[in-house]
Structure 1
Amino acid sequence: MSTLIIAIMVPFIAAAMIPFLYKKIVKLHIGWFAMLVSTILFIYLARFIPSIARGETFAHTINWMPSYGINFAAYLDGLSLILALLITGVGSLVILYSIFYLSSKESLGHFYTYLMLFMGAMLGVVMSDNMMVMYVFWELTSISSFLLIAFWYQRKRSREGAKKSLLITVSGGIAMLVGFIMIYVMTGTWSIREVIAGAGGFASHHLFIPAMLLLLLGAFTKSAQFPFHIWLPDAMEAPTPVSAYLHSATMVKAGIYLVARFTPVFGGEAIWFWLVTGVGLVTLFWGSFHAVRQKDLKALLAYSTVSQLGMIMSMFGMGSAALYFGYSTESVVYTQATFAALFHLVNHSTFKGALFMVIGIVDHEVGTRDIRRLGGLATLMPFTFTIAMIGSFSMAGLPPFNGFLSKEMFFTAALTIHEAGIFSLDAWGTLIPIIAWVASIFTFVYSMIIVFKTFLGPYQEEKLEHPAKEPPVGMLIAPGILALAVVGIFFFPNLLGDYLLTPAMAGIFPSFATEGLGVSIYAWHGFNREIWMTIGVVVAGILLYRFRTYWMGIYKIFDDKWSFNSLYSYVISFMEESSTTFTNSYMTGYLRDYMVYIYLFFIVAIGGTIIYTGTYAFDISGNAPITEFEWILTFVMMIAGISILFAKSRLTAILLNSILGYGVAAFFVLFRAPDLALTQTVVETVTTVLFLVAYYFLPEWQKEDVPRKSRNVNLIISVSVGVIFTVIALAVQNGKLFESISSYFEDSYKLAGGNNIVNSILGDFRALDTMLEVVVLLIAGIGVYTFIRLKAKKEDEHIENQ
């Protein structure tokens, strides 16, 4: 097994080990083990940086279902390396932070198990080359994030937030799966690299646009783009380490990664450009506009995350225009928007991760995140204040912090793209820099709210649950490192650009010359349009912040009952009520009704198919003659079956039913199938005995007086089912709609190494189905064992209490 695939699987192995280690390691915090795993993975992946910077890529494949082209293929290039380093690097810092943040009374074994599951799933998403394998990991991120968001499951809001995130992201994931299947139909391959290599050859296919739309639906839901952003603020009910990891650095970047990865396939198309750019800009504005109104610091950061994700998404959309022109000097200019998107993706992970941790520190130390109760913490929490200021000013786009550099590049991209002269940009392109500038003003305002409303102004100790003080040093290390990265990237941005961003650009624009994709990052470009836009943002932002009491009333227009959250709640409520009404209409509690439903469906579906396809014709002239013994068995079974209807006791009905079973066994003997006859005899004997034992304890059977109308309906259904089965049995030899598969299984020895066809089918051809059946039995066994243990534990506690 290759080292890349091992790297993906290591977090899953760690997740399996943590429950056992958690019970064994009492003195050592289990978080240190999780941190060791993620740190080793980060160091391992960092070793690839020099090779990736030289233009190398790494790929390893393990055959899984090669006949279907579905294999566990891991692929590492510049784009996947950036995300993988963020997943493991920020993950290590988050785990370090969580060790000091979470109480030892929490269920830490569960927490770090879920965290490792999520880390492995994210590594699988960004390093998978096979679309089906990527989808498996994609949905694993939704499931593991659901578990993390609902970690404090005692709280209703945590459960609701987890449910909302799961419903929205999994729904988008299913849409993405359908898009993947369409891409496979168009290209004949599940390999992402092969799809990219053949890009342009299937753009005229009728599934091209539907596949694009479904793919974007998956990306937009995962990355909380408008109008699917509503799950992200509610997901903030998770513990702060989860928010810092999932909702700033990793999970929400999965959708952005998907857009970046498939830009070579769909980029250059007007629909892709306007959807990615337009949705990104709307999300940028909507998130920043609503962040200002929040009273909870974590909610403010949630909407700011939505806004920043929209900004990154819009830049990927702008950069895709380069593929419209093909490789040329003009097109390389537009690729700089993609470079800026990658740059801000890294920058956002640093300053937003630090800010989430700072807000967690404030909540942890003073007991509240309510902005109205905070203020004056700077003198009492100077280190926390310093980190908060660095993160907030970087998010606002001020120097000397990395957010300033990528924000300037965002303005450059917005100003450049509206002059492209394609995709009707001459008419609508002017809106791009305007929206970017206005959204940046709101970004500046909410960044100032974090600093000035939380750390400056009067100290309101009477409104706090605890007096303000600095947290333990261990809790400051992780956000401190991220704050240092914020400043360090500002002064040495080209180290990041040359070794990570430029190689990532080669992964997004593989047909372009690599040397034309690199961008030298400078803090000062003179008094150009971008710097004047920044000055305008600062001036307008200061004025809006200073006089915010005069214009905050505008938010009253956006009544909560008309929000997307209300729409979501209404849809969920309507679906629950409708499903309850519909279920109650047929779940009558009578087994007789359920059998009627089943047989009616059978009659309509099978009978209708037989009539529609004309397969009811049959010819029995060529069949083998029926012997005397077969006639005798048939009449005996017919008499037994009819007699059951008139039985007046359960014992009689059971014995008559067993005659049917033993009759089938006798037929197997006549047809020279002793193994089936033996199996049928054993099963029938055991079943009859169990029936007799069970019915012995039941009260005396009183035959139900069924209305005449019901009896007539039952008669019609019974006769219809019998006729259909008879027709199927007679017509199966002549009415073949498809070629028989029996000839394939006859060669079982060559294909599966087994002489017995039945055993080969069960053990090899249906191995996956058989394995899942065994898993079901295992789960049932675990459930029974758990109930037994719980009952024994309660009895022991009862005895101890006495």
Structure 2
Amino acid sequence: MLQFAILAPFLTALFVPFLFRYIRQIHTGWFILPVPFGVFIYFLTQMGSVSNGNNIEAFVEWIPSLGMNFSFHLDGLSLLFSLLISGIGTLVTLYSIFYLNKNEKLNNFYVFLFLFMGAMLGVVLSDNVYVLYFFWELTSISSFLLIGYWYEREASRYGALKSMVITVLGGLSMLGGFILLSYVTGTTSIREMIEVSDVVLDSPYFTGILLLILLGAFTKSAQFPFHIWLPDAMEAPTPVSAFLHSATMVKAGIYLTARLFLLFGGTDLFFVLVTGFGLLTLCWGSYMAVRQTDLKAILAFSTISQLGMIMAMLGFGTKAAIFAAVFHIFNHATFKGSLFMIAGIVDHETGTRDIRKLGGLMTLMPISATLALFGAFSMAGVPLPIFNGFLSKEMFFETSIHLESTSELVMTLAPILPVLAVLGSIFTFVYSMYFFFHTFTGETKGELPVKPHEAPIGMLLSPIVLVIFVVVIGLLPNLINGPILQPATAAVFGEVPDKHIKFWHGIDNPALYMSLAVVAIGTLLYVSMKKWKSVYNWLPGPLSANKVYDFTYNGQFKLAEKTTRTYMTGSLRHYVLYILLFLVGATGTTLVVTDGFVISTENLAPISWPEIIVAVVMAIAAFGTIVMKNRIAAILVLGVVGFGLSLLFVFFRAPDLALTQLIVETVTVALFLLCFYHLPKLDTEKQPVFSKMINIIISGSVGLIVTLVAIASHSSKRFETISHYFIKESHHLGGGDNVVNVILVDMRGLDTLFEITVLGLAALGIYAMIRLRKEEEM
């Protein structure tokens, strides 16, 4: 059943275009809304089993010889993420029904959305590292399509490409880490790798494995300095932002780090990298959020900061820190998802997201303002029991103080951690207040494109549900402690935490004073924003990671363009010259370096006069093509070479090859005649002597190198020939006595399948061009 929960979104994406095409009267979202809801209900029903330690598994063979199989595993951690993916996916689908007009390209939107949903479920449920990577990159591709949904906008195309470049490059490095990890452990199963973690820790490849995998996690979860793709991804429709960039995709790196904690956690390198980059991301993201003027940009940088905080808690490595990280993953999804939806509502009902033009919306949009208040104050960690964000934020402070480690390095750095935690949280408080008060209080600062009014109840329903979770979990956090948080923590840390969540921990609690300091200093900074905001002129000032990205990216294009112009001259002769030179150089160098040229006269078939005569005729015909002055005549003479080769195949008892060569040669000659008939006559002007000498040298070198390769390939027997295996097993494995056919259809059936696929795609491309031309003519 587990595999069907992953398959359901993909199947839905398959049928969406048909629904959109044939049922235009009703919004497509209504028909597919039951799918994510049904998946959510399925995972809800598994909570009891998982909380009791009965994990669920599913296995489907894919490529067992390479250790690639669809093996899925549902434990506490994957259950938490699956509930977020399917639950918030349901709310986002409902929200998009009211947010997106029926005239939009809904078929594209829902196909991309459900592809992403299925890919994310595949990531969090996969036990096989290569299958996880497959789904991982599928999330990058589908998010690229979602971010670029409004592809008419240059900003959408830029943001989509930027996100894919950064996350795909990180994914490739992660794949390298997975390959090394599977090589060291001898398995592709994550659970089996964790069981032999000591082998990984003792391996000389440990540092490389950790760096490569964390690079993938950091790029996906927008850790500094790879965070730059996330703000530009806000060009996507708001439902996409609420789903991908608050609850799911950006947490894929968090998930990977948590999943492999038992493999890498506890080492100094893991602590320094994960904690260091996490706290740096927290501070920088929260600091930069205050600078933004677009509502979604504020939320984008706030997401960056919150992801940094979760990553830092994973780096702390204590049981309490892991529990706090898991708790904040859940809390962040609720309040940030609701805030993104509120930002979309403000944009939808006022026509702008520019906070410099907004203000005073509380009286015009009271429900939206109330929802925003709960979301923003929970994100800020305001110390009131109705905000779930405060509970996990206080746990963050507490775990930053109490680090349990025997490492001298960890204890040396420990005093700095609470300071950075408070610093990042102060700016978190500032941007939360900035988001709410500048949008909903005061007076409107400019004329709005649309007269503000409250959103319809359908659009408000999704953020209302999320805010209910904010309040209920804030008041009754232990509702999710036993069934969700404890199993998830146990899956990460390996032990079930004995943790009872409560709001009040007494007056003698350093975390409480840290929270009060955040509120006090944050309030002072907020009310005096105009006085100190000029600090952004020199930090970051002109410096920007975006400029580095643009310089690198644009520089690559300029270099590629300059390089291409040097050899793309428009001359077919030049192109053939480059290809042949490379062929001669690469092949000749390989023969010399590997000492690969060998001459052996053993096992040669006897040569009779008919074969000699045919070979001589072929040589004369080949030479004749050089001196011919007419293209048609040259093609006909060249055909003599091909048909002569067919005769040689017959003489050497290879009828299959002879028939194939006859067909190919006939078709080739016919096509050449059809094409060259329309070309002008050959230029009979004499070529310079230098050009002729170049032609002679190149053609002679190619002929010589091909001859040497042919002789060497026959004479050298470095490997046992595979022909005996084919002859012996063709009947047993393929059920046929024609060895060539069995090889093509069975033993190398995948090659044949892809060859047919390539031909099919080429046919579709030709058909599309013909149709396009006909439409233009009409």
Alignment match of 1:614 (pick from 595, 612, 617): 595
Tell me which residue corresponds to 1:331.
none
Structural mapping, 1:212-227, within 5 Å: 212-227=210-225
C-alpha displacement of 1:778: 2.7
Q: Which amino acid aligns with 1:738?
A: F
Q: Does 1:472 align with 2:456?
A: yes
C-alpha displacement of 1:372: 1.1
- In structure 2, distance between residues paired with 1:45 and 1:771: 37
- In structure 2, distance between residues paired with 1:704 and 1:151: 56
Alpha carbons 2:119, 2:135 under 8 Å: kept:
yes
C-alpha displacement of 1:254: 0.5
Structural mapping, 1:441-520, within 5 Å: 441-460=426-445, 462-510=446-494, 512=495, 514=496, 517-520=497-500
C-alpha displacement of 1:335: 0.9
C-alpha displacement of 1:704: 5.4
Tell me which residue corresponds to 1:306.
304
C-alpha displacement of 1:705: 3.7
Alpha carbons 1:641, 1:660 under 8 Å: kept:
yes
Q: Does 1:785 align with 2:771?
A: no
Does the residue aligned with 2:33 lie in a helix, a strand or coil?
helix
Tell me which residue corresponds to 1:387.
371
Does the residue aligned with 1:463 lie in a helix, a strand or coil?
coil
Tell me which residue corresponds to 1:14.
12
C-alpha displacement of 1:781: 2.9
Of the structure 1 ranges 754-763 and 397-406, higher mean CA displacement relative to structure 2 is found in: 754-763
Q: Which amino acid aligns with 1:519?
A: K
Alignment match of 1:530 (pick from 502, 507, 511): 511
CA 1:621/1:314 → structure 2, altered by over 3 Å: closer, same or farther?
closer
C-alpha displacement of 1:782: 2.8
- In structure 1, distance between residues paired with 2:264 and 2:405: 19
Does the residue aligned with 1:439 lie in a helix, a strand or coil?
helix
Alignment match of 1:281 (pick from 279, 282, 302): 279
Tell me which residue corresponds to 1:667.
648
- In structure 2, distance between residues paired with 1:458 and 1:732: 84
C-alpha displacement of 1:349: 0.4
Structural mapping, 1:112-511, within 5 Å: 112-319=110-317, 334-398=318-382, 399=384, 400-417=386-403, 420-460=405-445, 462-510=446-494
CA 1:658/1:566 → structure 2, altered by over 3 Å: closer, same or farther?
same
Which consecutive unaligned segments of at least 5 residues does structure 1 have?
320-333
Does the residue aligned with 2:71 lie in a helix, a strand or coil?
strand
Tell me which residue corresponds to 2:501.
521
Tell me which residue corresponds to 1:67.
65
C-alpha displacement of 1:792: 4.7
1:30-53: CA deviation from partner (whole Å, max 9, x where unpaired): 111221111111111111000000
- In structure 1, distance between residues paired with 2:49 and 2:493: 19
- In structure 2, distance between residues paired with 1:498 and 1:75: 20
Of the structure 1 ranges 68-77 and 619-628, higher mean CA displacement relative to structure 2 is found in: 619-628
- In structure 2, distance between residues paired with 1:614 and 1:569: 46
1:578-614: CA deviation from partner (whole Å, max 9, x where unpaired): 0001111111111221122112212122111112222
C-alpha displacement of 1:559: 5.0
C-alpha displacement of 1:741: 2.9
Q: Which amino acid aligns with 1:667?
A: L
C-alpha displacement of 1:410: 0.3
Q: Which amino acid aligns with 2:707?
A: T
Tell me which residue corresponds to 1:710.
691
Q: Which amino acid aligns with 1:396?
A: A
C-alpha displacement of 1:783: 2.8
- In structure 2, distance between residues paired with 1:391 and 1:401: 8
**Normalising by the residue count of structure 1, what TM-score does the alignment of the two structures yield?**
0.94
Alpha carbons 1:378, 1:455 under 8 Å: kept:
yes
Q: Which amino acid aligns with 2:396?
A: F
Of the structure 1 ranges 760-769 and 78-87, higher mean CA displacement relative to structure 2 is found in: 760-769
- In structure 1, distance between residues paired with 2:648 and 2:425: 81
- In structure 1, distance between residues paired with 2:638 and 2:116: 53
C-alpha displacement of 1:794: 5.2
- In structure 2, distance between residues paired with 1:732 and 1:745: 20
Alignment match of 1:766 (pick from 748, 755, 763): 748
1:373-428: CA deviation from partner (whole Å, max 9, x where unpaired): 111111111100000000000000022210000001000110112x6352513322
CA 1:751/1:267 → structure 2, altered by over 3 Å: closer, same or farther?
farther
Q: Which amino acid aligns with 1:412?
A: E
- In structure 2, distance between residues paired with 1:571 and 1:705: 48
Of the structure 1 ranges 658-667 and 489-498, higher mean CA displacement relative to structure 2 is found in: 489-498
Alpha carbons 1:230, 1:564 under 8 Å: kept:
yes
- In structure 1, distance between residues paired with 2:183 and 2:357: 58
CA 1:463/1:595 → structure 2, altered by over 3 Å: closer, same or farther?
same
- In structure 1, distance between residues paired with 2:408 and 2:227: 27
CA 1:579/1:364 → structure 2, altered by over 3 Å: closer, same or farther?
same
Of the structure 1 ranges 743-752 and 490-499, higher mean CA displacement relative to structure 2 is found in: 743-752
Does the residue aligned with 2:356 lie in a helix, a strand or coil?
helix
Does the residue aligned with 1:550 lie in a helix, a strand or coil?
helix
CA 1:613/1:457 → structure 2, altered by over 3 Å: closer, same or farther?
same
Alpha carbons 1:560, 1:566 under 8 Å: kept:
no
Q: Which amino acid aligns with 1:629?
A: P
Tell me which residue corresponds to 1:89.
87
Alpha carbons 1:169, 1:218 under 8 Å: kept:
yes
Q: Which amino acid aligns with 1:8?
A: I
Q: Which amino acid aligns with 2:333?
A: S
C-alpha displacement of 1:68: 1.4
Alpha carbons 2:349, 2:450 under 8 Å: kept:
yes
- In structure 1, distance between residues paired with 2:711 and 2:343: 74
C-alpha displacement of 1:771: 2.2
C-alpha displacement of 1:249: 0.4
CA 1:207/1:105 → structure 2, altered by over 3 Å: closer, same or farther?
same
State the number of aligned residues: 774
C-alpha displacement of 1:766: 2.5
Does the residue aligned with 1:373 lie in a helix, a strand or coil?
coil
Alpha carbons 1:270, 1:423 under 8 Å: kept:
no
Q: Which amino acid aligns with 2:546?
A: N
- In structure 1, distance between residues paired with 2:38 and 2:776: 43
Tell me which residue corresponds to 2:538.
557
Does the residue aligned with 1:200 lie in a helix, a strand or coil?
helix
Does the residue aligned with 2:611 lie in a helix, a strand or coil?
helix
Of the structure 1 ranges 669-678 and 390-399, higher mean CA displacement relative to structure 2 is found in: 669-678
C-alpha displacement of 1:735: 1.9
Alpha carbons 1:34, 1:116 under 8 Å: kept:
no
C-alpha displacement of 1:791: 4.5
Identity %: 51
- In structure 1, distance between residues paired with 2:498 and 2:775: 65
C-alpha displacement of 1:498: 0.8
- In structure 1, distance between residues paired with 2:744 and 2:271: 50
Q: Does 1:581 align with 2:562?
A: yes
Structural mapping, 1:681-700, within 5 Å: 681-700=662-681
Q: Which amino acid aligns with 1:673?
A: A
Alpha carbons 1:745, 1:761 under 8 Å: kept:
yes
Does the residue aligned with 1:377 lie in a helix, a strand or coil?
coil
